[in-house]
Amino acid sequence: MKASFRLVTIAGIEIGIHYTWLLAFALITWTLAEGFFPDAFPGWSTATYWVTGVIAALLLFLSVLVHELAHSLVARSRGLPVQGITLFIFGGVSSLGAEARSAWEEFAIAVVGPATSLLLAAAFGVGYWATAHQDSPPTAILAYLALINAMLGLFNLLPGFPLDGGRVLRAAIWGATGSFYRATRIAAGVGQGLAFLFIGWGVFQVLTGNVLGGLWIAFIGWFLNSAAEASRQETVVQETLRGVRVSEVMERNPEVISPGFAVDVLVRDFFLQRGKRALPVHEDGQLVGIVSITDVKGVAPDKWASTRVAQVMTTTPLWSVSPDSDVAEALRLLAERGLNQLLVVAGGAAVGVVSRENILRYVQLMSDLGVSRRPGALGRRG
Ligand SMILES: [Zn+2]
């Protein structure tokens, strides 16, 4: 998640905080200090309520962190790369570098989070029960933590993707049908249904006077809906692209330029008249570089006539794929490197260009034709 700063590293896992977390922290502290604690434990001073509120809110986020660590540690123990944990306005998120490889793995990684929250709730509940005769801030904090962890555990068990319960549902359907994609589509569909219920409930709360609580619920619904929709679309794209080769979507026989051309010819004849943004540079039929608008930016216009393409072109790194590569691989490179297009290279020459637009056009065409999956295409997931 962008716009977050690194806090600590626990067991080799980077813990970050997204700036929206600060808003959640302030809101929760305020609700606790002005509402929850004065209602449940009357008669304390305002300062006591606020100090208790701050400590309880911090411990709530520590609980969320423990929940996420449980996901991450189980994923890592199964050999999946863990990129880190980010705390943000709606809780926490563990970023895994890869999807689970089996339904059981998915189930184990998903279920351990809510299980951890429910265990924490039980532990805090015992603590509260043992100290319930005292009307003190520690008792109040234990009561709150028992309650909030139980709610966290139960909320995350709701069966809509991307909630943990939705992942459990996906694992179950995946296990039963053997299709990861179908399982994701169904779990994300249930997730969107749940999200709309949340939005409706939130709006109802706002209309009946609970403005802040209602908005909060509606926002959670909105967030769940966008996350579910994003994974559903991603699944459609992945499924459509499964087994598809770069050679099927690339633009063939790209126009090339030779290194001896002057930059003013490049700008006038290629960038301006033919609308190119980048061109492979070929010498004796072999790829020697790529030249783009960015490369020319650094040259003053009065030097264009005297500057050769060879002087401005990029020679390393030349990101490329082979015509036989999976489109998924090209898509990954484009995203990871923030590139607009990739060269398709065979036998040392550029034989094509593939861009995100080419790939999306293919997905759009397949969807317009009503083809979600090519017959005979085989992938890792069946
Ligand atoms: Zn979780």
pLDDT digits (tens, 9 = 90+) for 114-147: 999 999 999 999 999 998 888 889 999 999 999 9
| Domain C-terminal end among 212, 241, 270 | 241
The domain tally of the chain equals 2
State the first-to-last Cα distance of the chain, in angstroms, to the nearest integer. Answer: 30
d(CA 307, CA 288): 17
d(CA 258, CA 245): 28
What is the per-residue pLDDT for 74? 94
- 136 C-beta neighbours (distance < 10 Å), count: 14
Q: Give the pLDDT band of residue 379 (cuts 50, 70, 90).
A: very low
Arithmetic mean of pLDDT, 34-45 = 89
pLDDT tens digits, 302-358: 999 999 999 999 888 788 899 998 888 888 888 777 788 889 999 888 899 898 888
How far, in Å, is the centroid of ligand 1 from the Cα of 100?
Answer: 15
Q: Give the pLDDT band of residue 234 (cuts 50, 70, 90).
A: confident
Asked whether residue 4 carries a pLDDT value surpassing 80, the answer given is no
What is the per-residue pLDDT for 374? 52
How far, in Å, is the centroid of ligand 1 from the Cα of 281?
Answer: 49
| Residue 380: inside a domain | no
Residues with beta carbon < 5 A to ion ligand 1?
A: 113, 156, 164
How far, in Å, is the centroid of ligand 1 from the Cα of 126?
Answer: 23
Q: Give the pLDDT band of residue 298 (cuts 50, 70, 90).
A: confident
pLDDT tens digits, 161-218: 889 999 999 999 999 999 888 899 899 999 999 999 999 999 999 999 988 889 988 9
How far, in Å, is the centroid of ligand 1 from the Cα of 61?
Answer: 13
Q: Give the pLDDT band of residue 12 (cuts 50, 70, 90).
A: confident
Whether pTM > 0.85 for this model: the answer is no
Q: Note down the domain range covering 361.
A: 246-368
| Residue 138: inside a domain | yes
* 281 and 227 in a common domain: no
* 229 and 103 in a common domain: yes
What is the per-residue pLDDT for 134? 81
Q: DSSP for 83-98, please give it.
A: EEEEEETTEEEEEESS
Query: Roughly what angle, to the nearest 10 degrees, separates helices 211-241 and 20-31?
Result: 150
* 235 and 121 in a common domain: yes
| Residue 12: inside a domain | yes
How far, in Å, is the centroid of ligand 1 from the Cα of 141?
Answer: 23
Q: Which of 371 and 76 is assigned the larger pLDDT?
A: 76
- CA quadruple 80, 83, 85, 86: dihedral sign: negative
Asked whether residue 382 carries a pLDDT value surpassing 50, the answer given is no
Q: Which residues, including other chains, have CB under 8 Å from residue 221's CB and lie 6 or more apart? A: 194, 195, 196, 197, 198, 199, 200, 201, 202
Catalogue the long-range contacts made by 288-294 (C-beta closer than 8 Å, 24 or more residues apart): 288/259, 288/313, 288/315, 289/259, 289/313, 289/314, 289/315, 289/318, 290/314, 290/318, 290/343, 291/257, 291/266
- Neighbour-count burial for 170-180, b at 16+ CB within 10 Å, e otherwise: bbbbbeeeeeb
* 225 and 133 in a common domain: yes
* 213 and 263 in a common domain: no
Asked whether residue 375 carries a pLDDT value surpassing 70, the answer given is no
What is the per-residue pLDDT for 376? 45
Q: How many CA atoms lie within 13 A of 217 on its CB side?
A: 19
| Residue 178: inside a domain | yes
- Whole-number percent of the chain with pLDDT over 90: 46
| Residue 382: inside a domain | no
Q: Say which amino acid occupies 130.
A: A
For the annotated catalytic residues, the residue numbers are 68
How far, in Å, is the centroid of ligand 1 from the Cα of 382?
Answer: 26
pLDDT tens digits, 42-68: 888 999 999 999 999 999 999 999 999
The answer to whether 217 and 205 have CB atoms below 8 angstroms apart is: yes
| Residue 189: inside a domain | yes
What is the per-residue pLDDT for 212? 84
- Neighbour-count burial for 45-63, b at 16+ CB within 10 Å, e otherwise: eeebbbebbebbbebbbeb
* 197 and 318 in a common domain: no
Q: Which residues, including other chains, have CB under 8 Å from residue 163's CB and lie 6 or more apart? A: 155, 156, 157, 191, 194, 224
Q: What is the helix, strand, coil percentage profile of the chain, to 5?
A: 60, 15, 25
Q: Which residues, including other chains, have CB under 8 Å from residue 116's CB and lie 6 or more apart? A: 66, 67, 70, 153
Any idea what the CATH number is for the domain that residue 355 is in? 3.10.580.10
| Residue 342: inside a domain | yes
Asked whether residue 377 carries a pLDDT value surpassing 70, the answer given is no
| Domain C-terminal end among 241, 272, 299 | 241
* 362 and 266 in a common domain: yes
d(CA 133, CA 35): 22
Q: Give the pLDDT band of residue 381 (cuts 50, 70, 90).
A: very low
* 267 and 217 in a common domain: no
* 108 and 21 in a common domain: yes
Mean pLDDT of the chain: 88
Catalogue the long-range contacts made by 231-239 (C-beta closer than 8 Å, 24 or more residues apart): 231/161, 231/162, 231/184, 231/188, 232/184, 232/185, 232/188, 232/189, 232/192, 235/181, 235/184, 235/185, 235/188, 236/185, 236/363, 236/367, 236/372, 237/363, 238/181, 238/328, 239/181, 239/372, 239/373
* 38 and 63 in a common domain: yes
What is the per-residue pLDDT for 360? 84
What is the per-residue pLDDT for 3? 60
| Residue 87: inside a domain | yes
* 227 and 289 in a common domain: no
| Domain C-terminal end among 241, 269, 295 | 241
* 117 and 143 in a common domain: yes
What is the per-residue pLDDT for 372? 59
